[in-house]
């Protein structure tokens, strides 16, 4: 069983039923991550594995999103928090606004003992500082593309790193060395569907996770089935799910 830890089901161009069927056909279970309060309710009946969070893109949200987030997390006691984090590209909300939103969600995740799926774009140092301020260690950095030094900081805090479709592309990304050398009990997989497709694909989908896994397994010099098993065990450990059920 493969586990895709980050799928944006509401953004997929095909109906959720079709996405679920295609994933099941290749033995993939996935976590649907809600990034906007307007999407959270829609996700609930479409997959058993859920995450709720306010993405940095929506950090200027003016509604009472925090109370709503806490409500969704408490009503769905196995859900994770995500996708949340920092995105310091120019078109995104001000850093000060993002920081308040991110750290409030980290604090809630710590209070409820929920795993966190973290978005970190041009912001690894700030993410690390925020995690240290809150004292949270149950997290994964999605689609990790940073340096070995940054990876070491996350791993030292107890975090996981997730590998995605970018690792299949040519030229091979520098982050591939991180996944070759990191502890294998901290490695997770994702498609970030419909974004970050593997090489040769126009868009991503959870049914492509085995392609990503097979590519990474070659780089790690292990069998695809070994990577499937270890990444499954890691996902179960972080998210406290039995994905077979």
Report if residue 244 sits inside a domain.
no
Q: Are 84 and 118 in contact (CB under 8 A)?
A: yes
Cα 227 from Cα 114, distance rounded (Å): 25
pLDDT tens for the chain, residues 1 to 245: 999 999 999 999 999 999 999 999 999 999 999 999 999 999 999 999 999 999 999 999 777 899 999 999 999 999 999 999 999 999 999 999 999 999 999 999 999 999 999 999 999 999 999 999 999 999 999 999 999 999 999 999 999 999 999 999 988 888 999 999 999 999 999 999 999 999 999 999 999 999 999 999 999 999 999 999 999 999 999 999 989 86
96, 107, 120, 151, 167 from 113: Cα distances, Å: 25, 10, 21, 23, 31
Report if residue 90 sits inside a domain.
yes
Q: Is the peptide bond before 83 cis (omega within 30 degrees of 0)?
A: yes
Report if residue 245 sits inside a domain.
no
Q: Is the peptide bond before 171 cis (omega within 30 degrees of 0)?
A: yes
Report if residue 214 sits inside a domain.
yes
Q: How many domains does the chain have?
A: 1
Residue 95: give its domain's CATH number: 3.20.20.140
Domain that holds residue 23: 2-239
pTM of the predicted model as reported, rounded to 2 decimal places = 0.97
């Amino acid at each position: 069983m493969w586990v895709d830890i980050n799928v944006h089901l509401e953004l997929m161009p095909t109906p959720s039923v079709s996405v679920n069927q295609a994933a099941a056909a290749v033995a993939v279970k996935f976590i649907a991550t809600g990034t906007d309060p307007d999407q959270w309710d829609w996700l609930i009946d479409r997959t058993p594995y859920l995450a709720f969070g306010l993405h940095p893109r929506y950090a200027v949200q003016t509604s009472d999103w925090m109370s709503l987030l806490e409500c969704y997390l408490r009503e769905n006691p196995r859900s994770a928090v995500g996708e949340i984090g920092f995105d310091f590209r120019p078109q995104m909300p001000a850093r000060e606004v993002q920081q308040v939103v991110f750290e409030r969600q980290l604090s809630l995740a710590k209070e409820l003992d929920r795993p966190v799926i973290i978005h970190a774009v041009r912001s690894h140092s700030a993410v690390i500082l925020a995690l240290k301020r809150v004292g949270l260690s149950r997290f994964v950095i999605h689609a990790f593309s940073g340096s070995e030094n940054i990876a070491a900081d996350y791993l030292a805090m107890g975090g996981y790193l997730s590998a995605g479709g970018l690792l299949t592309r040519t030229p091979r990304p520098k982050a591939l060395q991180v996944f070759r050398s990191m502890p294998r009990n901290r490695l997770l997989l994702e498609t970030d569907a419909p974004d970050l497709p593997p090489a040769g694909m126009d868009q991503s989908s959870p049914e492509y996770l085995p392609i990503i896994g097979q590519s990474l397994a070659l780089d790690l010099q292990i069998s695809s089935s070994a990577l499937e098993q270890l990444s499954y065990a890691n996902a179960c450990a972080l998210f406290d799910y039995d994905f077979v059920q």
